């Protein structure tokens, strides 16, 4: 039986640093064969994705969203810019498609950032994960994996849990199709999303408030290390939930370019 260990790494990230800062902060704790789960917000800090809301000029589209869903015009403008599609929303939140995922407010957050600011998702999370992994691997002289994680709500579930935006360096999706269950029946559809599982487990330690744990190291998990990239999302037409609700969702116009 595998013994998996979660190791929190406590440090604070300030604006103005880059991904080398994270790599240096974790280098003394990481060993070859570990998976490094890092908060998307930490990566965004390193990539200068912090936005001063007072500098954002709302468009007409943003003003409409602001009134419709009770969010500030400046936040609404950022949602318009960042979202791939705007679907609908509830008071205080706009539901969007962002990088193939359903995300409230296009992943934009105002917690754990200075007052009057908002932080955006990394512009290219996969590239960020690949870059950070290579920086860490140079420091440990061996293979590691990286997961960029976030916390989010799930449909019809109370509270938040962890989810992986991207993974790098290991087999993030484990295909179990063709394997036999306890009664010898072949599995037909089962694929295990290891990246999401690691993100959710790490969120237990990362927390949501002032814990200052932007990185959790996962040790002891047997994975296949590879340069292959794994897509963690599915086409909306192949999604059970999306496909079932298609035609019943309130759609807004696609954001203006």
pLDDT of residue 182: 87
Q: Where are the domains of the chain?
A: 1-47+124-251, 50-120
How far apart CA 110 and CA 92 sit, in angstroms, is 13
pLDDT of residue 130: 98
DSSP assignment letter at 227: S
CATH pick for 50-120 out of 3.90.1660.10, 1.20.1050.10, 3.40.50.300, 3.30.230.10? 3.90.1660.10
* Mean pLDDT in consecutive groups of 10 residues from the start of the chain, 257 residues: 92 91 96 97 96 97 96 97 94 93 94 94 97 97 97 89 96 91 88 96 92 96 96 88 72 48
Q: How far apart are CA 79 and CA 39, in angstroms?
A: 20
How many residues are given for the chain? 257
Residue 220: both structure tokens together? 């002891």
Q: What is the pLDDT of residue 115?
A: 94
Q: Does domain 1-47+124-251 have CATH number 3.40.50.1010?
A: no
Dihedral angle sign, alpha carbons of residues 103, 106, 212, 148: positive
pLDDT of residue 2: 79
């Amino acid at each position: 039986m595998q013994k998996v260990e979660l190791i929190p790494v406590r440090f604070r990230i300030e604006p103005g640093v880059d991904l080398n800062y994270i790599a240096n902060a974790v280098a003394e704790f990481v060993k070859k064969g570990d998976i490094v789960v890092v908060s998307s917000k930490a990566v965004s800090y390193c990539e200068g994705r912090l936005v001063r809301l007072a500098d954002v000029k709302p468009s007409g589209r943003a003003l409409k969203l602001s009134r419709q869903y009770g969010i500030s015009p400046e936040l609404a403008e950022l949602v318009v810019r960042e979202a791939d599609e705007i679907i609908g929303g509830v008071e205080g939140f706009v539901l969007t498609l962002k990088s193939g995922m359903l995300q409230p407010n296009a992943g934009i957050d105002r917690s754990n950032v200075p007052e009057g600011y908002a932080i955006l998702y990394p512009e290219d999370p996969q590239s960020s994960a690949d870059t950070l992994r290579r920086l860490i691997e140079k420091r440990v002289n061996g293979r590691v994996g990286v997961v960029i994680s976030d916390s989010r709500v799930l449909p019809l579930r109370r509270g938040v849990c962890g989810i992986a935006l991207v993974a790098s360096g290991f087999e993030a999706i484990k295909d179990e199709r063709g394997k036999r269950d306890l009664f010898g029946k072949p599995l037909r559809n089962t694929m295990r999303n290891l990246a999401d599982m690691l993100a959710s487990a790490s969120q237990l330690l990362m927390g949501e408030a002032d814990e200052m744990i932007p990185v959790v190291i996962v040790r002891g998990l047997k994975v296949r290390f590879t340069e292959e990239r794994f897509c963690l999302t599915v086409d909306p037409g192949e999604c059970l939930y999306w496909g079932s609700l298609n035609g019943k969702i309130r759609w807004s116009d696609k954001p203006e370019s």
